[in-house]
């Protein structure tokens, strides 16, 4: 937007400030993180088993249970990103990929949009892990996922949203 003032331009994120006139006439200042978007994949091994990740998140200093996800590259579609991420993070190719939803995880300060896909008919592929990712793939059944969520072991917001889309947290 023309009135954006660049504050920071990093490898992944860009931070801007912007004044926006609200419908009530008040002019509010916002700090906005411009994000290229992301894709999340729910990899189904069978009808009642998905591949979860136990992934180190250095920013918060702990491991989280998550579904595979990643940031879109420049010009990359959400679908292509999902296909790339499932191989990189699980070592599986998706035979079929279906969009199940979209979320805006932090719309108060970021443009990030995450497209959520389910992947089925998985086939082994060569694992190509990223050097900056420390993760372990763990097949989990629906009952285990629900129990872990209810006990506070699954706290990643995008994963919780994706599991809600497929009805696993009811």
- In the chain, where the domains are located: 5-34, 38-165
Tens of pLDDT, residue by residue, the chain (170 residues): 557 999 999 888 899 999 999 999 999 999 999 999 999 999 999 999 999 999 999 999 999 999 999 999 999 999 999 999 999 999 999 999 999 999 999 999 999 999 999 999 999 997 666 778 889 999 999 999 999 999 999 999 999 999 999 999 98
Task: Write phi, then psi, for 31 (nearest 5 degrees).
Answer: -105, 125
pLDDT, residue 77, reads: 98
- Provide the H-helix boundaries in the chain: 78-90, 142-150, 157-165
CA distances, 80 to each of 56, 72, 83, 99 (Å): 24, 9, 5, 12
CA distances, 23 to each of 4, 17, 20, 64, 104 (Å): 19, 19, 10, 40, 22
pLDDT, residue 101, reads: 97
pLDDT, residue 128, reads: 67
Tokens 């591949």 locate to 51
pTM of the model: 0.92
**What residues contact 33, with CB distance under 8 A and at least 6 apart?**
13, 14, 15, 109, 110, 111, 112
Give the right CATH number for 38-165 from 3.40.50.300, 3.40.50.2300, 3.40.50.1820, 3.90.79.10.
3.90.79.10
Q: Give the SS3 label for residue 4.
A: coil
Checking DSSP bridges between strand 135-141 and strand 92-93, what pairing results, if any? unpaired
pLDDT, residue 131, reads: 79
pLDDT, residue 165, reads: 98
In SS3 terms, 45-60 reads as EECCEEEEEEEEECCC
pLDDT, residue 117, reads: 98
pLDDT, residue 129, reads: 67
- Tokens encoding 132: 């900056």
């Amino acid at each position: 937007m023309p009135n954006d003032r660049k504050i920071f331009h990093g490898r992944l994120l860009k931070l801007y400030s912007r004044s926006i006139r609200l419908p009530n006439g008040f002019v509010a200042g916002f700090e906005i993180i411009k994000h290229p978007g992301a894709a999340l994949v729910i990899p189904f091994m069978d009808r009642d088993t998905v591949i979860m990740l136990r992934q180190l998140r250095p920013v918060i200093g702990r491991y989280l249970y998550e579904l595979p996800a990643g940031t879109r590259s420049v010009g990359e579609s959400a679908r292509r990103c999902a296909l790339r991420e499932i191989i990189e993070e699980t070592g599986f190719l998706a035979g079929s990929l279906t969009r199940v939803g979209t979320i805006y995880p932090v719309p108060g300060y970021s443009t990030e949009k995450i497209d959520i896909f389910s992947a089925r008919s998985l086939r082994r592929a060569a694992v190509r892990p990223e050097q900056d990712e420390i993760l372990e793939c763990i097949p989990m059944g629906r009952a285990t996922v629900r129990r872990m969520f209810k006990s506070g072991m699954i706290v990643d917001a995008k994963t919780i949203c994706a599991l809600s889309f497929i009805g696993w947290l009811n």
